Chains A and B, each alone.
Chain A
Amino acid sequence: MSPTPWRRRLLATLTVAPLVALAACSGGGGGDGGGAAAGCEPSDGPVELTFTSWVPGVEEAVALWNEQNPNVQVRAESVPAGNAGTYSNLFNALQANTAPDLSQVEYDSLSSFRLQNGLVDIAACAGVTDAQSQFVDWTWSQVQLGDEGVYAVPQDTGPMALFYRKDLFDAAGIPAPTTWEEYYQAAVALKAANPEARITHFPQQDANWFTGLLWQNRAGLFDIEGDTLSVTVDSPQSRQVAEYWQRMIDEQLVATNLQGFSTELYSAWNTGTVATWVSAAWGYSTIRDNAPDTAGQWAVAPMPQWEAGGASAGNWGGSTTAVFSGTEHPYEAAQFALWLNTDPASLEILNAEGGLFPAATAGQDLPALSSGVDFYGGQPIFDVFTEASGQVDTDFTWGPTMTDTYTALSDGFTAALNGQGTLSDALGAAQASSLDALRAQGIQVEG
């Protein structure tokens, strides 16, 4: 039985209508360029803002703000960590014009969000540029993204240091290593004392851990000069780091089958088969909460140096509060972001509940950050991190397609950990992949 014209029309409409609707949606996706806020004026009347974050306890700080600012009510939404899916959701939301007014964004992803027209330049909003002096230097250069704008307000940082099992080091008669060469010697000595023991694990997924190590050696991944972007992932400085860790892998001094933040790693910490972790300030709670059997046995020392007597630290992670381009209230959003990350009461909540190591210099004087920490044998460990924070290179630049750079590094690590390649190969692959990704985004690149 052949369909009547009426039926055919109905079917055609049913089939085509959604396609047309979708096409109409996608047509508007071009956005308004860089999302630059020419002016930043207060809105009339009461304002409601939405804010996504994965800092535990951030709702409490938001509640305090809401109490103090009845006309600007913020609704906080708790989400998984950025790379655990939230960034993908936010990118999709930006395309669909359903993004929140503000969100937590890590330093390494700011550039990617700016590239997708996701960020508002809040430099014109009252109080923003004046706030620069309240933050650790390198954090402000991170939110400026290489030009005059201000694309987010720094929240916390992850200056790196060395967490190590003091008891195991003492038993083997090894002092805390001050240089990477000494760290290598310590790895050899630990393994000699216990053939099962490894000085640390080399995580395949934590490419941003590795970039923290690169940051320490001033191996910048990208370079922005005006309108020219160059990729410098594969550089003599990054090769030096890669070759060092390749030697550790080749000589089986590091555990190659443990993924970061996995129950397997925590089990190895508890049994003492993994003895150190070069990690960020926020890592203190990761060890404390997941290796309870080792309470009192860990200590923190500055990051090992490439040259004896050096004073350089890397940074791993840390977030900002960014205002998203879809907002109708950039002024209020900027005021909230500033308050959240500079107000003493807010900083105290974020540190107590979320364990944040603040980007605001005032925050580093919090009582909780100057006293001894029980789990670490009463050592005032945050002194080490505060010192490290001042040693982080201010010029380090992230690219706008970090997802691809990280992916290529991680995939290269898999090969290196299996002896099917080297970490230097991984750098080469990440260099090529970054160039491809940037070109796919229509960016002119050199590298």
Chain B
Amino acid sequence: MATPVVTTSSGPSRTAPAGRRPAARLAGRRAWVVFVVPFAIPFVLFYLAPIGYAIVQSFLRTERSGGIFGQARTVFTGFDQYAAVFADPVFLQGIGRMLLFGVVQVPIMLALALGLALLLDAGVSRFKRFFRIAYFLPYGIPGVIAALMWGFLYSPQLSPIVDLFDAIGPRPDFLGAGTILWSIANIVTWTYTGYNMLIIFAALQAVPPEVSEAAYMDGAGAWRIAWSIKIPLVRPALILTAVFSIIGTLQLFTEPIVLRAISTNVTSGYTPNLLAFTIASGNNYPLAAATSVVLALGTFVLSFGFFRFAQRKGWS
């Protein structure tokens, strides 16, 4: 995810406080290079350059002369590929599917994460460290492994869960056309709840204990303290996790591509990211690039839009 970018972008200019002697000041001023270069080189090489390359590609088109297998060359084509992206019903359906997914899954996951963080912070548990690690553990499991594992739990033939439901009521179909999206949502929630909990928990740790104590002295109960004191104070962390989650939703890829091996209901353009991958597999790099750029811009607009919205509402 985008964590490293966010955490490192604010640092460099504050590294050198103004020194007394001119030489020291100069050395101090140069020191930022040492700090910035190790970050800047990979950032440019593996982040900015590929993005730039994708943008260039997205304005090209393949032309061929001399028969079917003749000479190919790429020519500038303006915004044609972008027009094709927006004219593609599969892309639009994929975006719609992800929006539906995000509207349902993100609030559920963040509510869970907030609840768990508050529980840990309230200190009712004697095994705080254990639970903190236990909740976070799913995030440490590679996405492919997690999806494979859940695939077995969803499988109609192999799953103990399906058998259990079967014994007490109607047999569920976790891989059906109407349910697969929510089966994916379940995996994502399982994976990222602990991660988001940790961010919120860290913010809760920063809440001065005297504030809670004062509220307690004024007669507020634990619920009241959580609702009126703690949650308002960790709003910035909530906003941050929401933005990360929106980005993650639009980039959904691993879970659908893994579940595709066992479900007949994940199409090649099920998520926009999967669609870009499919197009690139077909050697149509310009269209794949345009799709990626549109997806990136969409993600940018949505996450920053949410950020601005939250700011205007005075949430952060």
Cα A268 to Cα B49 in complex, Å, equals 49
Contact residues in B for A257 (Cβ distance below 8 Å): 156, 173, 175-176, 263-264
Contact residues in B for A437 (Cβ distance below 8 Å): 282, 284
Contact among A1, A264, A400, A418 with B177 in the assembled complex (CB-CB below 8 Å): A418
Interface string of A271-287 (1 = CB under 8 A from B): 00000000000000000
Tell me how many residue pairs across A and B have CB atoms closer than 8 Å.
134
Cα A372 to Cα B17 in complex, Å, equals 85
Size of interface on A: residues with Cβ below 8 Å to B: 57
The residue on A at minimum CB distance from B37 is A14
Cα A78 to Cα B156 in complex, Å, equals 33
Cβ contact within 8 Å between A33 and B287:
no
Contact residues in A for B283 (Cβ distance below 8 Å): 91, 112, 115-116, 401, 403, 441
Which residues 89-103 in A have Cβ within 8 Å of B in the complex? 91
The residue on A at minimum CB distance from B65 is A442
Interface string of A10-36 (1 = CB under 8 A from B): 110011001100110010011101100
Cβ contact within 8 Å between B64 and A440:
no
Cα A22 to Cα B289 in complex, Å, equals 15
Which residues 327-348 in A have Cβ within 8 Å of B in the complex? none
Contact residues in B for A112 (Cβ distance below 8 Å): 283
Q: Is A166 an interface residue (CB 8 A)?
A: no
Cα A30 to Cα B156 in complex, Å, equals 49
Cα A91 to Cα B280 in complex, Å, equals 10
Contact residues in B for A88 (Cβ distance below 8 Å): 280-281
Which residues 267-314 in B have Cβ within 8 Å of A in the complex? 267-269, 278, 280-284, 286-287
Cβ contact within 8 Å between A30 and B62:
no
Cβ contact within 8 Å between B264 and A117:
no
Cβ contact within 8 Å between B281 and A442:
no
The residue on B at minimum CB distance from A151 is B69
Contact residues in A for B265 (Cβ distance below 8 Å): 204, 414, 417-418
Cα A400 to Cα B278 in complex, Å, equals 16
Tell me the dominant secondary structure on chain A's binding face.
Answer: helix
Q: Given A441-B62, A442-B72 in contact, is the A267-B158 Cβ separation under 8 Å? A: yes
Contact residues in B for A23 (Cβ distance below 8 Å): 53, 56
Q: Given A19-B53, A33-B71 in contact, is the A440-B262 Cβ separation under 8 Å? A: no
Q: Is A394 an interface residue (CB 8 A)?
A: no
Contact among A22, A116, A256 with B264 in the assembled complex (CB-CB below 8 Å): A256
20 more A-B contacts (CB under 8 A) besides A205-B260, A410-B268, A443-B64? A10-B33, A14-B40, A15-B48, A18-B45, A19-B49, A22-B49, A23-B53, A31-B72, A116-B283, A229-B68, A262-B262, A263-B152, A403-B282, A404-B284, A414-B266, A418-B177, A437-B284, A440-B61, A440-B62, A444-B68
Q: Which 6 A-B pairs have the closest CB atoms?
A: A442-B64, A204-B264, A18-B49, A267-B157, A227-B67, A403-B282
Which B residues fall within an 8 A CB radius of A? 13, 33, 40-41, 44-45, 48-49, 52-53, 56-57, 61-64, 66-74, 90, 152, 155-158, 173, 175-177, 260-269, 278, 280-284, 286-287
Which A residues fall within an 8 A CB radius of B? 1, 10-11, 14-15, 18-19, 22-23, 26, 29-31, 33-34, 87-88, 91, 112, 114-117, 203-205, 224, 226-227, 229, 256-259, 262-264, 267-268, 400-401, 403-404, 407, 410-411, 413-414, 417-418, 420, 437, 440-444
